Amino acid sequence: MPDPVLIADHGAVRVVTVNRPDKLNALNRATLEALHAAFDAAAADEAVRAVVLTGAGAKAFVAGADIAEMSGLSPIQARDFSLVGQRLMRRMERMPKPVVAMVNGFALGGGLELAMCCHLRIAADSAKLGLPEVTLGLLPGFGGSQRLLRLVGRAAALEMTLTGAPVDAARALALGLVNRVVPAAELEAHTMELAATLAGNAPLAMRGILDAIHVGGECAIDDGLEYESAQFGLAFATEDAREGMAAFLERRKPAFNNR
């Protein structure tokens, strides 16, 4: 049986690929666990400065959770499956390195939930995104209702989840569900270019930004401002901050060393 997740490094960019193209990359429990292990490894590897997540094949990023596996679950087992997925999504969301979703096709159900956990999303113009769980008599279980609400607002989140109808890439861009839409043939090039740009930035500064924005999205603004000031101060303890400011003053490109 092939590995459900493939790993490939391109310089400081790690590409994580969900590898079940015959199932449109549907998420079963083994795939969720393999993804969790892959993101743990990426977080721990100092050579990795940015991560790209995508799906194998031309049809799907991830077309959802594995219905064949889910159909036999009891209510208690279903809750446990939901918690496994939510732990993965939370782990990805709190990654100390930027994660870019390369949405190369269908991102439905658990697939859209997976993409929404990434910090940035680039979609092919042929992509379709949605949460169709209601058409199965279900609702999102990996955090989709909560993250969609925060990304697109109450009205659009209710429309997408109550109808189950997917949106095309252009509509997803208008809603703020994705950051960029590019021609399908150019998706990999655009995504890897963005990831390489991120990988060239100061890693500790990016970690502070990711933390500050994540914390700020979950607390009152005064608490968020206090957290930002603390992160700003900590940045001045890093060699990278000194290098970045010196490079600016000397009109040269900085060389960041993650210290």
Instruction: Encode pLDDT of 24-46 as tens digits.
Output: 999 999 999 999 999 999 999 99
Q: Is 133 assigned a catalytic role?
A: yes
Sign, CA torsion 188/192/193/198: positive
Q: Are residues 219 and 171 in the same domain?
A: no
Identify the active-site residue in 33, 113, 188, 239. 113
pLDDT of residue 215: 92
Q: Are residues 216 and 157 in the same domain?
A: no
Band of pLDDT at residue 2, cut at 50, 70 and 90 = confident
Dig out the tokens for 57 from the structure.
Answer: 């094949």
Band of pLDDT at residue 132, cut at 50, 70 and 90 = very high
Q: How many domains does the chain have?
A: 2
Residue 1 has pLDDT above 90, yes or no: no
Three-state SS at 219: coil
Q: Are residues 85 and 106 in the same domain?
A: yes
Q: Are residues 112 and 209 in the same domain?
A: no
Q: Are residues 216 and 179 in the same domain?
A: no
Residue 134 has pLDDT above 90, yes or no: yes
**Are 102 and 54 in contact, with CB atoms under 8 Å apart?**
yes
Which range marks the domain in which residue 230 is found? Answer: 203-249
* CATH number assigned to the domain comprising residue 56: 3.90.226.10
Instruction: Give CA–CA dist 34/31, Å, rounded.
Output: 5
Question: Nearest-5° angle of CA 207, CA 111, CA 75?
Answer: 110
Count of positions (residues) in the chain: 259
* CATH number assigned to the domain comprising residue 219: 1.10.12.10
pLDDT of residue 61: 97
Instruction: Judge whether 140 lies within some domain.
Output: yes
Instruction: Judge whether 257 lies within some domain.
Output: no
Q: Are residues 180 and 81 in the same domain?
A: yes
Identify the active-site residue in 93, 133, 159, 250. 133
Instruction: Judge whether 259 lies within some domain.
Output: no
Q: Are residues 118 and 208 in the same domain?
A: no
Please, where are the H alpha helices in the chain? 29-44, 67-70, 75-93, 110-117, 144-152, 154-163, 169-175, 187-199, 203-216, 221-235, 239-249
Instruction: Judge whether 113 lies within some domain.
Output: yes
Q: What is the pLDDT of residues 144-164, one digit of tens each?
A: 999 999 999 999 999 999 999
Q: Are residues 144 and 44 in the same domain?
A: yes
Q: Are residues 117 and 226 in the same domain?
A: no
% pLDDT > 70, the chain: 100
Residue 13 has pLDDT above 80, yes or no: yes
Q: Is 33 assigned a catalytic role?
A: no
pLDDT of residue 55: 98
Q: What is the pLDDT of residues 184-223, one digit of tens each?
A: 999 999 999 999 999 999 999 999 999 999 999 889 999 9
> For strand 50-55 and strand 13-18, is the pairing parallel, antiparallel, or unpaired?
parallel
Give the mean model confidence (pLDDT) for residues 79-104. Answer: 97
Give the mean model confidence (pLDDT) for residues 56-70. Answer: 94
